[in-house]
Chains A and B, each alone.
Chain A
Amino acid sequence: MKTFLIPAAVLVLCTASASAWAAPGTVLRNDKLYSQPSASSRVAGSVTKGTSVNILAKQGGWLRVTAGKSTGWVRLLSVRAGAGGLGGAGLGDVVGAATTKSDPSRVVAVAGLRGLNDEYLKQAKFNADERARLDALNVTATQVRNFASQSGLAAVNVPDLPKPQPAQTSSPWENN
């Protein structure tokens, strides 16, 4: 990790820009590296599951990454950001703790005032006033359609995604 990336990454975080990262990441599935953020562009290489990459930029459904000697664009969903490795493998804590300085998101790691937890939610009492406030948040169908068309949003025909194979490895994360 080059040292100049650290202040740069912190700066990026502060301005909440998603377009220019410099963050560690891990490849989640074998995929191709393209020369441009498009599957019809030239293939510049490939990445294999588990490989560490450096994320340089994000554009739509694509991430520009450096993996070893090659740099190129990979599908956004084929890489995870962060220092936690494959995640489901339970490496998150260990790796994350060891890379405090290079993980820009750590800068904002502050304790919540009163976190939402089991006990807190269990003891929650019905709040009729807040409920009434929620019910008052009604918008009409016309208002909704006007809101959409104001910025050029229109309904698009997008087919359902296929259901994946049921086999999913269980994640120890859920026991955290």
Chain B
Amino acid sequence: MKIKLMVLAISLASVSGVAAGFDFGKLLEERINQELNKDKQTTPAPATNQTPAAPQSAAAPPPPAKQKIDARQLGFALFGDYSPEEENRIGRQISGNLLGAVPLVRDDKLHRYVNLVGNWVALQSGRKDVTWRFGVLDTEDINAFAAPGGYIFVTKGLYRRLNNEAELAGVLAHEIAHVTKKHHLKVLKQSSLIGALGQAAGSKTKDSDPVVQNLIGNGAEIMARGLDKNAEFEADRVGVVFAARAGYGPWGLPGVLQDLAGLPAKDSRTGLLYKTHPHPADRLAALGEAVDGHLDAVQGKDLASRFYRIR
């Protein structure tokens, strides 16, 4: 492994002259750390009845040292960005996999309501190149997810705990902020030198997209890995502002965090939430530092009477 890293380092360093003035060392360091962490996190394959023909089993990206690093890929790593189409392809695949793990709640009125609230909040986010979709996942787990391209999910377990529309808006706004800040795309970019996704053979079909699957790893595991905690703090900060801009009381998201903070630590429904997010108390503290008195003058609505109660 060390040798591979050296090869990677040398091959990258040899091109570094081109990118004079750019903080190449830092990028390289991050990249190497990624590789080291990858090694650490490698767990033995579970002895389950997994069929060897599972398409995901071949999904691991090739070792970077063997991967040809051409100028296009390097350019992407340094300055590039996924196009809106690529972002949508990635989001489609992640959300399709997530829905393979948990289906949507069968409640059309609920989904219409959540999409109206979510789209109203998203209108304040400033991103116009995204078609937003909001789904409620049929699980008692307490969590919410965002995938690139504007796919937002909240679990039934979390939805049930909400008291009013402002709290729903706050939760959705946090997830919308992950999309507008492209948090997951940044993680994908860091963890892979796969740049352009190539011809979007699967973009028009309704099926699984093998190119994107190769990028995101196994199934929907990207949703279990979570983001850097500073990305979560940022999404809290930005989300509170989005909800307030939509005319809601800004205390919806903080109220939900308070509710979660009051849950016992070992509640099985919050296992994944706490694995992928800082503790609610830490989130409240970080948000408190940022908000201080800045929102004192904001008058918003909570709309408890309009809130759609789940069956």
Contacts and interface: CB of A to CB of B under 8 A. Distances in A.
Given A77-B287, A137-B115, A112 B264 contact: no
Contact of A131 (B112, B206, B301): B206
A116 B291 contact: no
A148 B281 contact: no
Given A88-B281, A116-B141, A147-B116, A130 B266 contact: no
A28 interface: yes
A48 to B, nearest CB: 14
A111 B139 CA distance: 12
Contacts of A80: 258, 261, 280-281, 284-285
Contacts of A1: none
A135 B133 contact: yes
A151 interface: yes
Contacts, number: 290
Interface residues of B, number: 103
Contacts of B238: 160-161
A143 B120 CA distance: 10
A121 B101 contact: yes
B258 A153 contact: no
A44 to B, nearest CB: 17
B240 interface: yes
A70 interface: no
Nearest to B117: A147
Interface of B: 46, 50, 56, 92-93, 95-104, 111-112, 115-117, 119-120, 123-124, 131, 133-135, 139-141, 143, 151, 155, 157, 161, 163, 165, 206-208, 213, 217-221, 223-224, 229-230, 233, 237-238, 240-241, 244-251, 254-255, 258-259, 261-269, 271-272, 274-275, 278-282, 284-291, 293-296, 298, 300-301, 303, 306
Interface of A: 16-18, 23, 26, 28-29, 38-39, 58, 60-61, 75-82, 84, 86-88, 92-93, 96-97, 103-106, 109-128, 130-135, 137-139, 141, 143-145, 147-148, 151-164, 166, 168, 170-171, 173-174, 176
